[in-house]
Structure 1
Amino acid sequence: MKGGIKIDQFLTILVHCFKWILVTSLLSSIIAVFILFIRALFKKKLQPRWFVWLWLILVIRLMLPWVPESSFSLFNLFTPSKSDAFIPFQFNHTLYSEPSFVTLQPRTELDTNTTSENPTSSNFHPIIIIAAFIWLAVMVIGIIQLYRSNRQFSKCLDSSRSISELSILELFQKCKQKSNIHSNIRLMASPAIFSPALYGLWRPKLILPSKQLQEFSKKDLSFIFYHELAHFKHRDIGVNWLMTLMLLLHWFNPLLWYCYSRMREDQELSSDAFALSKIDGDALKDYGNTILKVIQSNMDLPQFPRATNFISTKSQMVRRMKMIRSFRKEKRRWFLVGIFLVAIVSAVSLSNAKIFSKSVTVSIPAGWEVFQQAEAEMIYVPKEQSEDGLSLTVVNYKMMETEMIETGSHTTITQLEHYKQSDNLESWLKRMRDSAARDGVDLQQITDPEIGPLLIDQNEAYLHVISFLYGPEPQAISLKGSGKYYDLDVIKQEGVYKIFQQMVSEVQKGSK
């Protein structure tokens, strides 16, 4: 039994993680398309470093498990309504569904052996479980492959040696000073690499290829130093590591892989622009020749997140040559445009859609009066209340959460916790039934064609019909009757049930 519970707990966590990854991937894809649009629009106007900053926003969004809601969020454009119960871009990435769209079979028997800790038996479709396992398996394979490739690259550097030539060390120090970098970066040479590379996240090393070292002039070396020091200054290795880890989680999303290649391209262009800003204008052609010399012999080598190098595709190389040939220092107005774009993209991307939910206002039915009113609960009773008691209650659990500290309502706390642990209305209802069963209460379930699933609690004293509204504002609408209202059929015949339907409809519509 304990083994079964552990397996179900693992499945629950796995499926929840997979669902979160799916929604995060969808939201991030929207941001990626937005950034690609800006990139295409301003590619010839802005310095490449601004696009690197925009890609960093995408990386941050992929990493964040939660972001605040904002009326400026990009995702407000994709919410179907600002006040209905279907809000797909809520911060916890839960897809809500209205009760009227849920069809459940009547429940006449309650399995008391099934507890709320076993949600996978009825709430998770086999397809979603299989998909989650495939996602996990491919991710693990990717992690292993990444580890092996980086391990292999590290072993290739075991033969590297520290460069001791005084002239090269002095030139390197001069380039560091001009780049305003004071960190300790070891300068090394290795016969195992064919392209200059900045390697290491914590103890960075600038590694030069031993075989080509003698072919580089001092001018070539200064260009290489400026370029790789730019990667260090921009923290490109750390950003690449983060993006690589995010790609392992979102391996199924081709758009993110495409964005990663564009990000690496922009990093190279940004480093080129940094290097060009440190050299004389007359040396632009020489810098381009140096880049071509390094790239052309290494275009087929792989890229590693732990290292930055000169490797580019043919199309990237063409773009780099165009940028080098037409390089100009950035004008002030485009500098301000870059700041503005980064600020705007940050504001609309690092937030979720704003839920414009207001307190639900309902008109008091004719012949009824407010028996009890609170911020989170409204109770209505007929004005001419007889011995046959009847009451209609609307409860907002989210509002009541703030009152729990004062009231200490065990029932409310339990119901609210069931809501928080549920993925949809069906799982919430199941948790409510299972919880009631542990207390010896047998909740029956029926499905009304207009309202949706209803829970019925019937004992010797009263009949209690409850409808739950699942969404950002969890609510319950209940009709409680005794005496002649003890029979559900009588309630329907008396017409009070229509009022109940009206109340549910009001709450579902919200304040529009």
Structure 2
Amino acid sequence: MAELMQEINSFTGWLLIASLKSLPLIAILLLAQYGLKKYLSAGARHSLWLSLFLCLSIPFGWQFSFDIRPTELLFSSMDNNATYPSGSEIITSPTAAAEISQTNIENDLHQTPNSATTSLTSHSIFSLIWIFIFSGLIFITSWQLFRFKRVLQKASNAPSQDYLLLQNAQHTLGFSQKIPLLYSSKVSSPLTLGLFKPAIILPIGIERQLTENQLRLVLLHELAHIHRRDILWNWLAYGITLLHWFNPLIWLASKRMKADMEMACDAKVLSHLSPQDRNDYGLTLINVSQLASKPLGFAHSLGILENHRELKDRLIMMKEFTTMTLKKSLIFGMLFSAFAFAALAQPFADNSSPQQKSPTANQPHESAMSLQTFASRAEKDLGKKILVGFNGDTRIQTNLNENPIDYKKLLAQLQINGFTAFTSEDYIQIVSVRDARSLAPIVEKGKKYYDDEFVTDYIKLDKSCAGSVLATIRPLVPQYSHLTTYEDAKTLIIVDSYSNIQRVRSVIATIEKNIDSPKDCNRTQTVEPTPQQLRK
């Protein structure tokens, strides 16, 4: 469950970044729609919206660094501080460690693992809210599809003379796909529905309000939607809008994109009409706008006129309609390339100052990132799955460069942030150093260990007694580690990083070197209780 929540947090975090980086692109696209009317055709202006789809749906591209982490504008860093090991939990000063009481040690032993990391962060709360609202929008869409299916079931087939008009319109556009033509009392204006099996639905009685030629022009418009595959693009735009439901500008962009789609469809129709039919096409739009307003409410449908406020813009476009010249096509190509290049930008946080930024690719630089981001980077370099758990949102300080991360460097970067890692055949597990005692493997003779690797070791004493030595070396062992004596009073059990264990061994060797003869440890001997005894 924790891993699933981490994956969801990672996905919603990417959605937030994609949504934020799309804001300037949306603003530029909206300005371009008005400023480039004289230079670009309606179809070209509609195609520019494809760059926004790339920005909101593709998680890869060229990267650039920025100084402010966007998600920190929405999520307080206080959530992450709750998962940091506090100063009282990680003690490296020998003097402070010597003052730790037996009561504190017992409390530390009895502490539930991950108790500081089980609380929900604001990012997790946002993810849960996103899932709830997104699920609701999917339910509404499913209900609309169900209504669409019922409309199709109750709709009646058009008469043969209308099918002749449909065939004539198909011949004009130059395609022969079989398209059902239906009449329904549930619609008030012509609609095109169906992603895989498109159908045209006309309101009952439209043939009495339009001339035969105007009805042919209506069918020509709906067929142009099918021929341009506008239904597919409309579904893609609708799906991306649902994913980014929290961004009102994306809803506005989706609405403007659909309006430009209608004008692009008008332009396609006009390109196949004579000057006289073009005038009649404008009158057809005006007549359709006067039909009774009883919208069916399909967000994924396409109609000849869904918004009366857009009628004026469409009529102006028809009046000024011209085809694209070579010069205008070159302008469009350069604009589209620039927008697509900007859309594929993938930002990542770089909080280092100009003096700290590396002048070369191999020079390390310090930066802050989430533990999950660091683990994802390490996964690629180590080629092994890394499990993080509830600690994934914790922000850590790293010192990385372009060189791959090996296991030794992974342990070192984790150690300075209060974490460590344990490896198995299938995965690597990252845990807090406080929880390392229960997972640290026993040291095997002849096996190589990394300095920052947490292990369990038995230290045999030759001359001194474990009880007296323990009191001396206790300040050398951090609180999150473990140190106790074995029952024979001649053995110490220690759980700590391998480098610190070697340091303890060196101190013990020095102590025993100054003892002339072995001491009798069978007499009164202070033996610290084991964790199992403490629990009892």
TM over 0.5: yes
CA contact (8 A) 2:218 2:304 kept: no
Aligned twin of 1:439 = 440
Change (3 A) 1:13 1:396: closer
TM-score by length of 1: 0.65
Report the 3-state secondary structure (helix = DSSP H, G, I; strand = E; otherwise coil) of the residue aligned with 1:459.
Answer: helix
The 5-angstrom pairing of residues 110-129 of structure 1 reads 121=118, 124-125=120-121, 127-129=122-124
1:294 aligns with 2:281: no
- Aligned-residue sequence identity (percent) comes to 22
1:459 aligns with 2:452: no
* The one of 135, 143, 153 aligned to 1:140: 135
Aligned twin of 1:224 = 218
Change (3 A) 1:414 1:177: farther
The one-letter amino acid of 2:62's match is E
1:399 aligns with 2:403: yes
1:79 aligns with 2:88: no
Report the 3-state secondary structure (helix = DSSP H, G, I; strand = E; otherwise coil) of the residue aligned with 1:278.
Answer: coil
Report the 3-state secondary structure (helix = DSSP H, G, I; strand = E; otherwise coil) of the residue aligned with 1:316.
Answer: helix
Change (3 A) 1:211 1:129: same
Report the 3-state secondary structure (helix = DSSP H, G, I; strand = E; otherwise coil) of the residue aligned with 1:461.
Answer: helix
Residues of 2 paired with 1:400 and 1:153: CA distance?
A: 54
Change (3 A) 1:95 1:279: farther
Aligned twin of 2:312 = 318
Aligned twin of 2:474 = none
The one-letter amino acid of 2:86's match is Q
Aligned twin of 1:360 = 363
Aligned twin of 2:264 = 270
CA contact (8 A) 2:221 2:266 kept: yes
Aligned twin of 1:67 = 60
Change (3 A) 1:95 1:34: farther
Report the 3-state secondary structure (helix = DSSP H, G, I; strand = E; otherwise coil) of the residue aligned with 1:121.
Answer: coil
* The one of 149, 156, 171 aligned to 1:154: 149
Deviations 1:452-508 (A, max 9, x none): xxx987634338xxxxxxxxxxxxxxxxx988xx9xxxxxxxxxxxxxxxxxxxxxx
Aligned twin of 1:188 = 182
Deviations 1:383-411 (A, max 9, x none): xxxxxxxxxxx98586234xx6xxxx5x5
CA offset at residue 135 of structure 1?
A: 2.1
Residues of 2 paired with 1:333 and 1:95: CA distance?
A: 51
* The one of 18, 35, 58 aligned to 2:12: 18
Report the 3-state secondary structure (helix = DSSP H, G, I; strand = E; otherwise coil) of the residue aligned with 1:198.
Answer: strand
CA contact (8 A) 1:163 1:187 kept: yes
The one-letter amino acid of 1:121's match is T
CA offset at residue 242 of structure 1?
A: 1.7
CA offset at residue 359 of structure 1?
A: 0.9
Aligned twin of 1:175 = 169
Change (3 A) 1:154 1:292: farther
Is the radius of gyration larger for structure 1 or structure 2?
2
CA contact (8 A) 1:198 1:206 kept: yes
CA offset at residue 256 of structure 1?
A: 0.5
Deviations 1:88-113 (A, max 9, x none): 69xxxx999xx9xx986312487798
Aligned twin of 1:210 = 204
Report the 3-state secondary structure (helix = DSSP H, G, I; strand = E; otherwise coil) of the residue aligned with 2:302.
Answer: strand
Residues of 2 paired with 1:427 and 1:211: CA distance?
A: 73
Residues of 2 paired with 1:152 and 1:88: CA distance?
A: 40
List gaps (5 residues or longer) in structure 1.
Answer: 1-5, 71-75, 81-85, 363-375, 377-393, 446-454, 464-480, 487-512
Deviations 1:225-283 (A, max 9, x none): 22112211222111221222222221111100100110111011111111111111123
Report the 3-state secondary structure (helix = DSSP H, G, I; strand = E; otherwise coil) of the residue aligned with 1:319.
Answer: helix
Aligned twin of 2:228 = 234
Runs of at least 4 residues off by over 4 Å: 86-89, 109-116, 353-357, 394-398, 411-416, 424-430, 442-445, 455-458
TM-score by length of 2: 0.62
Change (3 A) 1:433 1:130: same
Change (3 A) 1:131 1:177: same
Residues of 2 paired with 1:427 and 1:322: CA distance?
A: 65
Residues of 1 paired with 2:36 and 2:479: CA distance?
A: 62
CA offset at residue 120 of structure 1?
A: 5.0
Residues of 2 paired with 1:215 and 1:444: CA distance?
A: 86
Change (3 A) 1:396 1:264: closer
Change (3 A) 1:428 1:259: farther
CA contact (8 A) 2:172 2:272 kept: yes
The one-letter amino acid of 2:198's match is P
List gaps (5 residues or longer) in structure 2.
Answer: 91-104, 351-356, 366-380, 382-397, 422-429, 442-453, 455-476, 481-495, 511-536
The 5-angstrom pairing of residues 400-415 of structure 1 reads 400-401=404-405, 411=408
Change (3 A) 1:302 1:113: farther
Residues of 1 paired with 2:305 and 2:419: CA distance?
A: 51
CA contact (8 A) 2:362 2:402 kept: no
The one-letter amino acid of 1:399's match is N
The one-letter amino acid of 2:433's match is R
Change (3 A) 1:339 1:95: farther
Q: Which one has more relative contact order, counting CA pairs under 8 Å at least 6 apart?
A: 1
Report the 3-state secondary structure (helix = DSSP H, G, I; strand = E; otherwise coil) of the residue aligned with 2:404.
Answer: helix
Give the RMSD, CA atoms, in angstroms.
4.2
Report the 3-state secondary structure (helix = DSSP H, G, I; strand = E; otherwise coil) of the residue aligned with 2:183.
Answer: strand
Aligned twin of 1:452 = none
CA contact (8 A) 1:436 1:443 kept: no
The one-letter amino acid of 1:360's match is Q
Change (3 A) 1:282 1:114: farther
Deviations 1:368-388 (A, max 9, x none): xxxxxxxx9xxxxxxxxxxxx
The one-letter amino acid of 2:191's match is A
Change (3 A) 1:158 1:395: closer
